[in-house]
């Protein structure tokens, strides 16, 4: 919320500086991540919805996977969301944590499924939110899809390597996911 207040006080300058616009990827690649932390200043509902979702999903997932893994999940999912925008909507500027939030949905799905949990309600909520991205203008369905796929992949790695003796393998695989996202970004810029 403090970033949202700073956006408001800056008169939009912070939003302009941090928003992700794919044509700037070569010169300002950090925007792929900074966009996750700023939100549309035209509606407070954007930041409130993402904040509420982060609180609900984040609290649950942080308890399940631990704080360090949660940060990795959130950041990689946000990056995956920006990458999908680069590939699928290369002329669209985006802001918001929605890609990262959808990554949390994807991770929760994989984790629940791996432990035999029921996913019906989660699938309904996820499907409704994904559908909104295709129906409501100004919502980046591309970031949502990229985030959910990246979050699911990260969770799959975390579930497969959850035993203590697999910590090195877990770290290596998460680094490979990050490297893969960077490589796909470079390829997207070159094409």
| Three-state DSSP class for residue 20 | strand
Is residue 131 packed enough to be buried (19+ CB in 10 Å), middle (13-18) or exposed (0-12)? exposed
Which pLDDT belongs to residue 112?
93
Q: Cα 80 from chain centroid?
A: 6
CA quadruple 18, 53, 73, 107: dihedral sign: negative
Read off the CATH number of the domain in which 146 is found.
1.20.1540.10
Bigger pLDDT: 3 or 136? 136
Per residue in 14-73, pLDDT (tens digit) is 888 899 999 999 999 999 999 999 988 777 888 888 899 999 999 999 999 999 999 999
8 A C-beta contact, residue 82 and residue 32: yes
Q: How many residues does the chain have?
A: 191
Selected catalytic residue, list 77, 98, 114, 140: 98
What is the 8-class DSSP label of residue 23?
A: G
Selected catalytic residue, list 46, 82, 140, 144: 144
| Structural domain of 42 | 2-190
Reported as a pLDDT band with limits 50, 70 and 90, residue 1 is low
Q: Report the distance separating Cα 126 and Cα 148, nearest Å.
A: 9
10 is catalytic: no
pTM of the complete model: 0.92
Q: Cα 86 from chain centroid?
A: 14
Q: How many domains does the chain have?
A: 1
């Amino acid at each position: 919320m403090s970033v949202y207040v700073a956006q408001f006080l800056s008169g939009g300058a912070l939003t302009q500086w941090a928003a992700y616009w794919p044509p700037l990827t070569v010169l300002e690649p950090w925007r792929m991540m900074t966009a996750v932390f700023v939100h549309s200043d035209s509606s407070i509902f954007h930041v409130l919805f993402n904040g509420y979702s982060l609180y609900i999903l984040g609290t649950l997932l942080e308890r399940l996977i631990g704080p360090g893994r949660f940060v990795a999940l959130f950041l990689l999912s946000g990056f995956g969301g920006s990458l999908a925008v680069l590939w699928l909507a290369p002329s669209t500027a985006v802001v918001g944590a929605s890609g990262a939030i959808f990554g949390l949905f994807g991770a929760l799905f994989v984790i629940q499924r791996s432990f035999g949990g029921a996913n019906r309600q989660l699938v309904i909520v996820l499907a409704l939110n994904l559908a909104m991205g295709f129906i409501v203008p100004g919502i980046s369905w591309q970031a949502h899809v990229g985030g959910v796929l990246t979050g699911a992949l990260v969770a799959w790695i975390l579930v497969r390597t959850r035993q203590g003796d697999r910590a090195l393998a877990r770290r290596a695989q998460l680094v490979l996911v990050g490297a893969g996202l960077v490589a796909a970004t470079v390829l997207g810029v070159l094409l």
